[in-house]
Chains A and B, each alone.
Chain A
């Protein structure tokens, strides 16, 4: 089984590279051939297979991305699951070495329902709905029954309640360690992916501690100081000296730190790690081509974070560094924006784009067997009601509705039932083996 795991991981990583990208080095190719031969021998002898019974083989394959058009009603980019079978967890480890945490901003249960209905029909499922464990999370913040993304993100990142507008600290402005920081303390690699600015509230909850989500220049500087291996999203303007009050050139500083700066899809696909900073727009992403989609960004982030680069090999037996795993947070930022605008078509589109990021995480987890994938939302937006033939909006703001939680992989059994949003972070910490969480930041 060990041989199978290594082989499938390598195959996945090889598939994840673009046509133009030469992902595998010569050394890695030698490793691949060697391990593939071993796998063949073991496979023939023991009849091993990577696909569990009842699952579709396409669950394990690479998604072929097409163009995403500007038309919000055009969802041709999305191809749903072939079967409604839940993902199986056979042969998974008990402890989560890797965590992929996906947050659909503003994605309540009805946002998922209307996306499902439009994309795969009422009887179908989205990829996130194939997860074997489901629950609900309550979302109120410390000072309001209706949270914003800063307080919601803080609950999901740090496991504590705070006031709306505040990031990574309690209402008394005491900073708390977040999941990403705790993962770094364990020697794990980390990454943030978002379709908003990378300094927007939700990613900022994992990369900063500040009392006002509006201070994006300060947040960008804090994110840079966090030594996060992979940062993919928008918001380049907050990193440029000409736009910053302190006149710091954060992009130059990032280069000095060893980041490869990328600004388009091709550059992103060709980028080698370990440090990659992708800022694809001055402000938020457009979420249509030629920008990288959230699914493509997620695939690349997983590829970079799951790979040991030392000595150009992925295998510790051939001189690679010990792989301690990774923590990756991915935000589908603009579901919220579509719902603030009471635009159901764009809500569907943004949810489906997000679901392809979920698919990337699931495909990796199926191969890897050491990865916990958790999908949830920070809050619901718009008070969306599904009346069957039509939908109705309750307003233009956030609502106090509970949000769905989907989990898959080691520790996923913790996420069943109704839980507070702070418990989502605490359960992830438990699954990863993080001690003392939540914890005041030293």
Chain B
């Protein structure tokens, strides 16, 4: 499967790091809609990289699915 990009609000940071294995329903951070609600990982996989998008004040988490 090809890698996917997920976005979380940058204010509270993200609980994952590059290289880390993530599981479905693991908390990645907060949703980007400003609601403050948690954003859960939709898949199992490995975090390839995390980039910061200053313009939108969001983290972009790139995950390679298992």
Q: List residues of chain A with CB under 8 Å of any chain B CB.
A: 143-144, 146-149, 164-165, 196-197, 201, 212-214, 283-284, 333-334, 336-337, 340-341, 395-398
Contacts and interface: CB of A to CB of B under 8 A. Distances in A.
A214 B56 contact: yes
A396 B36 contact: no
Nearest to A339: B52
Interface residues of B, number: 16
Contacts of A197: 55
A234 to B, nearest CB: 9
Among B52, B56, B57, which residue has the most Cβ atoms of chain A within 10 A? B57
Contacts of B52: 337, 340-341, 396
Contact of A212 (B11, B34, B56): B34
Q: 10 closest A-B pairs (Cβ-Cβ)?
A: A397-B13, A165-B34, A337-B54, A148-B11, A396-B13, A395-B13, A340-B52, A397-B12, A341-B52, A398-B11
A336 B52 CA distance: 11
B4 to A, nearest CB: 20
Contact of B12 (A146, A214, A336, A337): A146
Interface of B: 9-14, 29, 34, 36, 50, 52, 54-57, 59
B34 A214 contact: yes
Interface residues of A, dominant DSSP: loop
A51 B54 CA distance: 42
A397 B10 contact: yes
Contact of B54 (A144, A340, A395, A396): A340
B36 to A, nearest CB: 7
Contact of B11 (A164, A214, A283): A164
Given A148-B11, A164-B11, A396 B50 contact: yes
A196 B34 contact: no
B47 to A, nearest CB: 12
A143 B57 CA distance: 19
B34 A340 contact: no
Contact of B55 (A143, A148, A284): A284
A59 B15 CA distance: 45
Contact of A283 (B9, B10, B29, B55): B55
Among B13, B52, B59, which residue has the most Cβ atoms of chain A within 10 A? B13
